[in-house]
Structure 1
Amino acid sequence: MAEQLLREALNKIEIVGFAQESTLEKKEFKDNIGKPYTCISGDITVKISEEETQVVSYFAKELTQKGEVNKNYKALTTIMNELVTVADVAQGVSEGEPSRIECQGKLTLNEYKGNDGEVKSFPKISGQYAPIRYKGEAKDFNPKAKFDIEGIVKSLKAETDKDENETGRLKIQLYVPLYGGKTIPLTFVTGETLPQGGKDYLTDNFQSRASVRIYGDLVNKSKKIERVIESGFGENKTDVTYERTREFIATGGTLYEEGVHKEVFDISLLKEALANRERHLSALKEKEKTDDKPKPTAGFGNGSQQTNAKTNEKQDDGLDDLFGED
């Protein structure tokens, strides 16, 4: 009997904007058995506004497992040769206007071992297909960065600032199942103002273990701040700093109800998916793992735990340690 795995969640990223910079290039690597292969890898930075960009990462092998030319590799080759970026125009490499492009991808994590021996983890947009040229009218061009994602609620809580003051927003922590029974943790926030009844809906329905779908805006802004320092003599000095903001703002969402929506995740399969993640993280740290189970964390509420109809006692599914605040 085939092993049961968590189904892959909806994980859709849409980026529309001007091509600002590209690091795509052809490279030669060897696979895990030493067989060489050619691929295209690198990033395309997309300009959404004067203060906002999004980086989309790409990787495509030249040949498929059947030995045929990979269509995505071929499309990325065309992009490498024809894409006009903001940087190209600024440096005089190309004339005219930067390319308007549309990118489709998935939200994943870039994880690696840092110099301190600890695993570093940052959100990453993985391009699913090669970018396509925007074919509409220039007047209708609308740069944007959107997400549409399903997941299992780990916790929902009020967001606080560095002084532990509530910001007025809610923080939604999800486990997002990926292909092959894998899962990753991702954090989203609501806007500072929610539609009438929005906060109550989230509090009542986005409880731990719930299967949900949320959508909204990807934000990656860098705001330039200049401060003039008056000099005691001679010229004044201008200090320049940048205020960077990266977050995923949920503008809407819904609960998948048991027995109503077929999209509800099988929660019993989550424990093994997270155990696989723990093994992955341990492999990154290059040390033996003595326990494949996730470390216990504080639980989030009891509202979503089912009860046994005969005994009225909580059923123990062994998943309590997986939910709650970090």
Structure 2
Amino acid sequence: MAEQLLRQADNKVFIVGIAQESTLQKKDFPNKNGNGTYVAISGDITVKTGEEESHVVSYFAKELTAKGEPNKNFKALTTIMNEIVTVADVAQGLTEGEPTRLQCQGELSLNEYKGNDGEIKSFVKIQGKFSPQRYKGENFEADIKATFDIEGIIKSNKPELVDGEETGRLKVELYVPLYAGKVIPLDFITDVSVDNAGVEYLQENFVPRSSVNIYGNIINKSKKIERIVESAFGKNKTETTYERTREFAFDGGTLYEEGVHEKQIFDVSLLKEALAIRERDLATLKEKEVNKPQEQKDKGFGNGSANTAPQNKPTEDDGLGDLFGED
């Protein structure tokens, strides 16, 4: 009998904007078995969606599929790589014309690595699922966006605090099931447009162990702030700082209920093993990094196999107390 695993959650990101920068490259990568190399395109495309806002979408596509056949995504990504015109290209005089208008699809994932302090660092990234396409709509300005639509299991639901004071928004932590029974934790915040009645509903219904679908906007702003510092003599100097905001603000969602959303509800009894797999993967990452040369450290962590990882139990702060305690 096949092992039961958490079903993979719907996890969608949609971005429409102007190509700001591209680092796409065709490179040779070593095969995992150590024999030979394979060709793939790897890199990021930064998409500008506002005067002070942009979003990085990561791409990776092998030239050949597992069956040795040409990969359609590789072909499409090659075309984009060769033809894309970015804001950076135009600014540097490398090309003429208008920057390419793009529409991208992806999913939210985590990039995790060991920092120089020996601790595991984690940040959310947008992983492109298909090759980006040229914008094909009729009203580009109206269609510019960066949105997400995602399912998950509620880990916690708490008021947002800034300097110890509640902001009126809620911070919702989700466990998002991936492929092969894996899971990652992601944080979301209620959009400021959610009224008091909406916040009250979320507090009462979006409780730990609940299966939900939420959707909203990806915010990644970098506001430039310049301050004039007066000099005792001569010219004054200008100090430049940046005020950065990165969050996933949801403004709508659905609580999956028994008798209504039977197929969508996640089997929480399978979450313990998924979290155990995650802990083993992270432990393996820390062990492997110990013996790596310096130039190989601080590189991204995927979702490696749990088969060779040491057996580690989930830690106390992983939410298991809330999720699997007594009702």
Cα-Cα RMSD? 1.9
Distance 1:127 1:139, change over 3 A: closer
1:153–1:206 contact (8 Å) kept in structure 2: yes
Q: Does 1:41 align with 2:42?
A: yes
Write out aligned runs for 1:63-78 (5 A): 63-78=64-79
**Residue aligning to 1:295:** 315
CA distance in structure 1 between the partners assigned to 2:310 and 2:102 by the alignment: 47
Q: Which amino acid aligns with 1:248?
A: F
CA distance in structure 2 between the partners assigned to 1:70 and 1:154 by the alignment: 38
CA distance in structure 2 between the partners assigned to 1:118 and 1:133 by the alignment: 40
CA distance in structure 1 between the partners assigned to 2:192 and 2:41 by the alignment: 41
CA distance in structure 1 between the partners assigned to 2:85 and 2:278 by the alignment: 39
1:16–1:145 contact (8 Å) kept in structure 2: yes
Question: Which consecutive residues of structure 1, in runs of 5 or more, have no partner in the other structure?
Answer: 306-318, 322-326
**In proportion to residue count, which structure has more helix?**
2
CA distance in structure 2 between the partners assigned to 1:289 and 1:139 by the alignment: 48
Kindly provide the CA deviation profile for residues 20-52 of structure 1, in whole angstroms up to 9, marking residues without a partner as x: 000000111112212311100000000011100
**Residue aligning to 2:8:** 8
2:283–2:310 contact (8 Å) kept in structure 1: no
Distance 1:141 1:97, change over 3 A: farther
Q: Does 1:109 align with 2:114?
A: no
For residue 136 of structure 1, report the CA deviation from its aligned partner. Answer: 2.4
Q: Which amino acid aligns with 2:325?
A: D
Q: Which moved more, 1:80-89 or 1:290-299?
A: 290-299
**Residue aligning to 2:191:** 191
For residue 139 of structure 1, report the CA deviation from its aligned partner. Answer: 5.5
Task: Report the secondary structure of 1:297's partner residue.
Answer: helix
Q: Which moved more, 1:293-302 or 1:198-207?
A: 293-302
Percent of matched pairs sharing the same residue? 65
**Residue aligning to 2:95:** 94
Write out aligned runs for 1:170-185 (5 A): 170-185=170-185
CA distance in structure 2 between the partners assigned to 1:298 and 1:78 by the alignment: 43
CA distance in structure 1 between the partners assigned to 2:215 and 2:318 by the alignment: 27
Kindly provide the CA deviation profile for residues 265-311 of structure 1, in whole angstroms up to 9, marking residues without a partner as x: 00111000000000110111017977522112396997xx8xxxxxx
Kindly provide the CA deviation profile for residues 198-225 of structure 1, in whole angstroms up to 9, marking residues without a partner as x: 0121011100000000000001100000
Q: Which amino acid aligns with 1:40?
A: I
Q: Which amino acid aligns with 2:258?
A: E
CA distance in structure 2 between the partners assigned to 1:238 and 1:190 by the alignment: 36
Question: Which consecutive residues of structure 2, in runs of 5 or more, have no partner in the other structure?
Answer: 289-307
CA distance in structure 2 between the partners assigned to 1:301 and 1:216 by the alignment: 29
Q: Give the number of aligned pairs.
A: 305
2:280–2:310 contact (8 Å) kept in structure 1: no
1:148–1:215 contact (8 Å) kept in structure 2: yes
Write out aligned runs for 1:1-326 (5 A): 1-35=1-35, 36-137=37-138, 141-161=142-162, 163-195=163-195, 197-261=197-261, 262-286=263-287, 291-297=311-317, 319-320=324-325
CA distance in structure 2 between the partners assigned to 1:60 and 1:75 by the alignment: 10
Task: Report the secondary structure of 2:172's partner residue.
Answer: strand
For residue 117 of structure 1, report the CA deviation from its aligned partner. Answer: 1.5
Task: Report the secondary structure of 1:197's partner residue.
Answer: helix
CA distance in structure 1 between the partners assigned to 2:279 and 2:321 by the alignment: 24
CA distance in structure 2 between the partners assigned to 1:269 and 1:34 by the alignment: 35
Task: Report the secondary structure of 2:147's partner residue.
Answer: strand
2:281–2:309 contact (8 Å) kept in structure 1: no
Task: Report the secondary structure of 1:48's partner residue.
Answer: strand
TM-score by length of 2: 0.89
2:193–2:251 contact (8 Å) kept in structure 1: no
